[in-house]
Amino acid sequence: MSNNDKPAIPTTTVTRDVRQFDKETDNIYESIVIISKRANQIAVNVKEELHNKLAEFASSNDNLEEVFENREQIEISKHYERMPKSTLVAIDEFLNDKVYHRNPAKEQN
């Protein structure tokens, strides 16, 4: 699937059919836990990526008087602000079977 065929992930809140969430796990709460853990993973990765890109602009002798806005730095920040929130990405991945998960408690039975 190319990037053009990829379904667009919404950048705003979407009304969802709750019955879609428990199809795979048979438990809505278990599904929500899986989605929230995946959302946390995504958020950490995006935050790390953003900090690494912005670290390139940091200088060792910054002080409040010398700090000025860098156009490229602003564009990078705006790009990350426009990205879909990690929860929306995690929901999309879960509903499209792109999240690996297992429940050890269920496996013991």
Question: Is 11 contained in some domain?
Answer: no
What single DSSP character describes residue 85?
A: P
Cβ neighbours of residue 56 closer than 8 Å, sequence gap 6 or more? none
Q: Could you give the number of structural domains in the chain? A: 1
What does the angle CA 86 – CA 89 – CA 95 come to, to the nearest 5 degrees? 140
Q: What is the pLDDT of residue 73?
A: 82
Q: What is the pLDDT of residue 60?
A: 58
DSSP three-state, residue 61: coil
Domain holding 84, by residue range, is 18-100
Question: Is 64 contained in some domain?
Answer: yes
70-79 mean pLDDT: 84
Span 28-61, pLDDT tens digits: 999 999 999 999 999 999 999 998 988 877 765 5
- Give me the chain's average pLDDT, please: 82
Question: Is 105 contained in some domain?
Answer: no
Give the residue, 65 or 77, on which the prediction is more confident. 77
Residue 66 pLDDT level (bands cut at 50, 70, 90): very low
Amino acid sitting at position 73: Q
Percent of the chain exceeding pLDDT 70 equals: 82
Question: Is 24 contained in some domain?
Answer: yes
Q: What is the pLDDT of residue 47?
A: 94
Question: Is 5 contained in some domain?
Answer: no
